[in-house]
Amino acid sequence: MNVVPMIVHFHSLPGLNETFSMDSTALRANFLLQGLFSPGELRLVATDLDRAAVGAACPTTQAPLLLESSPEFRSAYFCERRELGVLNLGGNGSVTVDGVVFPLAPRECLYVGRGAREVGFTSEADESPAAFYLVSYPAHAAHPTRKADADTTNIVQLGSAAEANERTLYQYIHEGGIQSCQLVMGYTELAEGSVWNTMPPHTHLRRTELYCYFDVPEGHAVLHMMGEPDNTRPLWVADRQVVLSPAWSIHCGAGTASYRFVWAMGGENQRFDDMDRVAIPKLR
Report the SS3 class of residue 36.
coil
pTM of the predicted protein model: 0.95
pLDDT at 158 over 60: yes
Quote the pLDDT of residue 42.
Answer: 96
Give 6-39 pLDDT, tens digit per residue: 788 888 899 888 898 899 999 999 999 999 999 9
**Alpha-carbon separation of residue 120 from 59, 148, 230 (angstroms):** 9, 18, 44
- Sign (positive/negative) of CA torsion 274, 142, 243, 105? negative
pLDDT at 2 over 50: no
- Minimum mean pLDDT range among 3-7, 45-49, 154-158, 208-212: 3-7
pLDDT (mean) for 242-270: 93
Report the run of H or E that residue 9 belongs to, with start and end.
Answer: strand 7-11
Q: Where are the domains of the chain?
A: 7-282
Quote the pLDDT of residue 260.
Answer: 98
**Alpha-carbon separation of residue 51 from 165, 204, 236 (angstroms):** 31, 17, 25
pLDDT at 57 over 70: yes
7-282 maps to which CATH number?
2.60.120.10
Quote the pLDDT of residue 4.
Answer: 52
With b meaning 16 or more CB within 10 Å and e meaning fewer, what string describes 8-22?
A: beebeebeeeebeeb
